[in-house]
Chains A and B, each alone.
Chain A
Amino acid sequence: MARTAIPFGPQHPVFPEPVHLKLELEDETVVGVTPVIGYMHRGIEKAAELKTFRQNVFLIERICGICSFMHSLAYCQGVEALTDVEAPPRARFLRVFWSELSRSHSHLLTLGLLADAMGFESLFMQCWRAREIVLDISEMTAGHRIIQSTCSVGGVRRDINSEMAKEVDARLRALQEMLDRSISPVFLHDYTINRRTEGKGIVPKEQAELLGAVGPTARGSGVTVDIRQTGYAAYSDLSIDPVVETAGDSYARTKVRVRELSRSVELVREVLAMMPAGEILVAVSNYPEGETVSRVEQPRGEEIMYLKGNSTNYLERVRVRTPTFANIPALLGMLPGCELADVPIITLSIDPCIGCTER
């Protein structure tokens, strides 16, 4: 049987990010796939060696425009471990506050894009309308819709007052209602979503583990892994139950995100209610020394940051393993066997972020 090679990306209508998949097809069935990445490598790891450890927060934040807060959070937690500083309790709760806001707007973004890829325009608009609520909260509390720039070594740079907290809570309640009424039920029960995702792009549990899948991609395959369980920031004071599905297909990954989204909004409201009073930033007087690995759970999965300091103002090495970088092998495992028309949806089901991948 004749084989056809079809390129997917680096520019594709449903996925305009610079990753290139060379698909090998037998008729309409994908039988082989070769990834090509590296179109937009920015050298942030190297650049981080050339700036002081305080300046790096703003550099690291710009690895990605969606989960920027959590990049800076992983970095700050790592540097705090190297300088023997502990962020004050209020700062730790505020970190969870912005983390979960990031997660909810990221999940709304990717669910919307998934609906858009299926041609489900109305659902796409619902998701992005709901996302505006989160972005408005972000602008109100941090001064910026996406890149909050609130995390700092030793704590956070901005506080929220009780008036603001009340407004945030009200808006989140509106969001919750929107999710319950017009977004979650569609994703969980709609015929179109079901037919386009169920049984597509299966990655079994064992394979997901071997391929090092993380985040919703791993949890959709039944791997119970959620780094929030390690209890960084204030997560030790909150109850985190990993959302796990076992089917391992695109539908399972989508369901994981929908359920996590609701939980995220709840978490933000819980954090607002539990927030202790006090300092938000402590002074850091010494230079980072030694090595550490800092891990956070991003919307797309676990981020690993390796930091090495040498008692100077500059770090000797900053290594960032972003979640999409770890999920690409899993994606390559999903594609063979599927139909060409399902490739865009399966690719979107891992929530790929090439901005993160090409640090």
Chain B
Amino acid sequence: MEHEVFVTKDEFIPAIQGMLTERARLGTISCLDLVDEFELIYHFEPQEAPEPLTHLRARVAKGDTWPSITSIYPSASLAELEIRDHFDIEITGITLDFRGRFLRSKESPEAALLKPTPYELTAATRHPARCGEACPAGIDIPRYVRLIGEDRPADALAVIKQSLPFPGILGRVCFAPCEAPCRQAKQEEPIAVRMLKRFAYDNTTYEEEVAAEPTGKRVAIIGSGPAGLTAAYYLVKMGHEVAILEALPEAGGMMRVGIPAYRLPRKVLDEEIDLVKQLGAKIQTSTEVSSLETLFENGYHAILVATGAHRGMKMGLEGEDHHRVLECIDFLRSVSFGKGPQLGNRVAVIGGGNAAIDAARTALRTGAADVTMLYRRTRAEMPASASEIEEAITEGVNIDFLVAPRRIMIENDTVILESVRMKLGAPDASGRPRPEPIEGSEFQLEVDAIIAAIGQSPDVPQDFALETGSKNTVIVDAETMATSREGVFAAGDVITGPASVVEAVRSAKQATISIDRYLGGEGVLPVPELDIKDLTSRQTFIERWARDNQRVVMPTLTIDDRLRGFDEVELGLTEEMAVAEGKRCWRCDLEE
């Protein structure tokens, strides 16, 4: 062909600007798939029509990004969109709509071609996406997923930090309520939002803003779990003086005693607790609070009760009080503090929640060879998250469905668990089918220990004199998180019963706002302004359809390595995997 010019990525934009100064007209852009890379050909026509064309040729690696020329030649947008749709080239900065360019007003109809502006996302061009709507902490999920897809994990972390103080912890233990409503969950391939959060935390750092001017107000937080730490993080940054009072010898609450180290390594937990300390909150461990009056007398202006739900519920069975029948949280706590009991070889775990799964997997790691879980409904009704159940089965936990314990008998050194088979009946109040016993199907199981994990409830001292509701939860105003006593607020599991870390973060954020208002502040969470430009645009249907739609699989330890100790099972995503996963997002939040 006539007049060919080969350019590199660096020479590219100057070359295009050169064509504009020669007043060449852009014919079109062709893209060639050269198997191991792409070639883009920009066909330019000289101003005088009969003259031959000039072809600007550039090679682009597969999956690479390439700058849009729409800020120089606005007419390139259609061709660029077509290339982005049909080939695996991310062309960044395409002006999708001509709004910035062809906007005229009644007052200035002459302003024909406004100055080109780079494509930027504004609030007006965004919709709430389902993932972000589902997040209890209110993280701008589509935005950070997109930023990771653009290989900008530091910016992604900054977006997460706008709404969540502890991405390292949540990136590991969150049940990801955002993944279920993802539009790709229909094909069982939702975006791995949680794994991406962990990737952003593990691979970048975030500069915390310094706390504001001291306000002179003092806040006492009872409990150093996720709710207590979240409230402390924000209150300290607002300038209040914060003291966290923790009954256990180490801070972290359920995150330390309830979540085993193979899911949440203690290093990450300590890092994020240290962050709160560095910001200026004081944490007093081994300090049990029995009376709120004493705290007020000691000069605290407000109190947040975030004591969690640590008291195991009783099964109400005969023989339950034997020392070989353990309560789940007690068991996990003693293992966490390195004082785990000798369970023996055969262990039965009763219950089907996440705590039960944690207990079963922990039992395997502390020497039990044969762990059986008993659950009275089927797998479909099990409250534990599906991935946790899958992991437990992979590690060798047996799960016996439709079984309920009847009584526990102790003979010599053996514990005999008598159980009965169940069948599913009509739905009960929770909407799940009610299990009904099949008479005459009783059977006996010989084990060395039993772990009861049928649920926990809050354990608020009577002396707090707070109004409590069903299952011993503290009653609060749904908006303000204020309890029945003035100046006392509550957040976390203590108001909901056992829930999740991210739920605790949500209620703690609400409580923080009210506490600040109660202390005379504005009630605005200290969130730094973000100066991040979004470049990626909406994926088109063809692009989605053409792209390999596999959800990333988290690399994990081998089974042998897992059972050897409490090393973290999930190893984290590589940069390549994370970027590919981020690009898979359909970007439902963007307007076409």
Q: Which of A38, A308, A330 is most buried by chain B, counting CB atoms within 10 A of its CB?
A: A38
Given contacts A293-B43, A293-B53, A317-B32, is CB(A209)–CB(B78) below 8 Å?
A: no
Given contacts A33-B98, A38-B540, A207-B112, is CB(A226)–CB(B49) below 8 Å?
A: yes
Distance in Å: Cβ of A118 to nearest Cβ of chain B: 23
Question: What residues of A have a CB within 8 angstroms of the CB of B136 in the complex?
Answer: none
Residues B351-387 near A (CB distance < 8 A) = none
7 A-B contact pairs sorted by A residue (CB < 8 Å): A24-B99, A34-B99, A212-B73, A291-B1, A326-B75, A335-B102, A337-B109
Instruction: Convert A193-234 into 0s and 1s, putting 1 for each residue whose CB lies closer than 8 angstroms to a CB of B.
Output: 000000000001001011110000000000011110111000
- Whether B102 lies near A212 (C-beta < 8 A) is no
CB-nearest residue of chain B to A308 = B32
Question: What residues of B have a CB within 8 angstroms of the CB of A326 in the complex?
Answer: 27-28, 75
Q: How far is the CA of A326 from the CA of B541 in the complex (A)?
A: 22
Question: What residues of A have a CB within 8 angstroms of the CB of B97 in the complex?
Answer: 22, 32, 34
CB-nearest residue of chain A to B30 = A319
- Whether A32 lies near B78 (C-beta < 8 A) is no
Q: How far is the CA of A326 from the CA of B102 in the complex (A)?
A: 17
The reply to whether the CB of B104 lies closer than 8 angstroms to some CB of chain A is yes
Residues B9-55 near A (CB distance < 8 A) = 23, 25-28, 30-33, 41, 43, 45, 47, 49-50, 53, 55
A residues with a Cβ closer than 8 A to B are: 22, 24, 26, 29, 31-38, 41, 204, 207, 209-212, 224-227, 229-231, 291-293, 295, 302, 304, 306, 308, 316-317, 319, 321, 325-326, 328-330, 332-333, 335-337
Distance in Å: Cβ of B58 to nearest Cβ of chain A: 15
Distance in Å: Cβ of A302 to nearest Cβ of chain B: 8
Distance in Å: Cβ of B123 to nearest Cβ of chain A: 15
Question: What residues of B have a CB within 8 angstroms of the CB of A336 in the complex?
Answer: 102-104
Question: What residues of B have a CB within 8 angstroms of the CB of A231 in the complex?
Answer: 50
Distance in Å: Cβ of A228 to nearest Cβ of chain B: 10
- Whether A32 lies near B50 (C-beta < 8 A) is no
Nearest 7 Cβ contacts at the A-B interface: A321-B28, A34-B97, A329-B75, A212-B75, A225-B49, A319-B30, A336-B104
CB-nearest residue of chain B to A231 = B50
Given contacts A209-B23, A230-B50, A321-B28, is CB(A31)–CB(B103) below 8 Å?
A: yes
Mostly, the A contact residues are mixed
Question: What residues of B have a CB within 8 angstroms of the CB of A24 in the complex?
Answer: 99
- Whether B49 lies near A210 (C-beta < 8 A) is no
- Whether B43 lies near A32 (C-beta < 8 A) is no
Sample of 14 more A-B contacts, CB < 8 Å, known A225-B45, A325-B78: A22-B97, A34-B98, A212-B26, A212-B27, A291-B1, A293-B55, A321-B79, A329-B74, A329-B78, A332-B102, A333-B113, A336-B102, A336-B103, A336-B104
Q: How far is the CA of A316 from the CA of B45 in the complex (A)?
A: 24
The reply to whether the CB of B473 lies closer than 8 angstroms to some CB of chain A is no
Chain B contact residues (Cβ within 8 angstroms of A): what range? 35 or more
- Whether B542 lies near A38 (C-beta < 8 A) is yes
Give which listed residue, A32, A37, A207, A330, contacts B103 with CB less than 8 A.
A32
Question: What residues of B have a CB within 8 angstroms of the CB of A36 in the complex?
Answer: 592
- Whether B113 lies near A304 (C-beta < 8 A) is no
Question: What residues of B have a CB within 8 angstroms of the CB of A333 in the complex?
Answer: 98, 102, 112-113
CB-nearest residue of chain B to A209 = B25
A-B pair number, CB within 8 angstroms: 109
Distance in Å: Cβ of A51 to nearest Cβ of chain B: 18
Q: How far is the CA of A37 from the CA of B31 in the complex (A)?
A: 19
Q: How far is the CA of A316 from the CA of B112 in the complex (A)?
A: 41
- Whether B112 lies near A209 (C-beta < 8 A) is no
Question: What residues of B have a CB within 8 angstroms of the CB of A304 in the complex?
Answer: 27-28, 43
Q: How far is the CA of A319 from the CA of B40 in the complex (A)?
A: 12
Q: How far is the CA of A230 from the CA of B48 in the complex (A)?
A: 11
The reply to whether the CB of B105 lies closer than 8 angstroms to some CB of chain A is yes
The reply to whether the CB of B85 lies closer than 8 angstroms to some CB of chain A is yes
The reply to whether the CB of B323 lies closer than 8 angstroms to some CB of chain A is no
The reply to whether the CB of B106 lies closer than 8 angstroms to some CB of chain A is yes
The reply to whether the CB of B77 lies closer than 8 angstroms to some CB of chain A is yes
CB-nearest residue of chain A to B103 = A32
Distance in Å: Cβ of B74 to nearest Cβ of chain A: 6
Distance in Å: Cβ of B289 to nearest Cβ of chain A: 57
Distance in Å: Cβ of A244 to nearest Cβ of chain B: 11
Q: How far is the CA of A329 from the CA of B77 in the complex (A)?
A: 9
Question: What residues of B have a CB within 8 angstroms of the CB of A337 in the complex?
Answer: 104, 109
Distance in Å: Cβ of A323 to nearest Cβ of chain B: 11
Q: How far is the CA of A304 from the CA of B49 in the complex (A)?
A: 13
CB-nearest residue of chain A to B97 = A34
Question: What residues of B have a CB within 8 angstroms of the CB of A306 in the complex?
Answer: 30, 41, 43
CB-nearest residue of chain B to A229 = B50
Q: How far is the CA of A275 from the CA of B27 in the complex (A)?
A: 33
Question: What residues of A have a CB within 8 angstroms of the CB of B98 in the complex?
Answer: 32-35, 329, 332-333
Q: How far is the CA of A207 from the CA of B102 in the complex (A)?
A: 11
Question: What residues of B have a CB within 8 angstroms of the CB of A209 in the complex?
Answer: 23, 25, 47
Distance in Å: Cβ of B45 to nearest Cβ of chain A: 8
Give which listed residue, A210, A321, A325, contacts B74 with CB less than 8 A.
A210
CB-nearest residue of chain B to A291 = B1
Instruction: Convert B92-130 into 0s and 1s, putting 1 for each residue whose CB lies closer than 8 angstroms to a CB of A.
Output: 000011110011111001001100000000000000000
Q: How far is the CA of A212 from the CA of B43 in the complex (A)?
A: 11
Q: Which of A24, A295, A337 is most buried by chain B, counting CB atoms within 10 A of its CB?
A: A337
Distance in Å: Cβ of A12 to nearest Cβ of chain B: 18
Question: What residues of A have a CB within 8 angstroms of the CB of B23 in the complex?
Answer: 209
Question: What residues of A have a CB within 8 angstroms of the CB of B45 in the complex?
Answer: 225
CB-nearest residue of chain A to B102 = A336
Distance in Å: Cβ of A2 to nearest Cβ of chain B: 13
Question: What residues of A have a CB within 8 angstroms of the CB of B113 in the complex?
Answer: 207, 210, 333
- Whether B104 lies near A229 (C-beta < 8 A) is no
CB-nearest residue of chain B to A297 = B49
Q: Which of B28, B102, B541 is most buried by chain A, counting CB atoms within 10 A of its CB?
A: B102
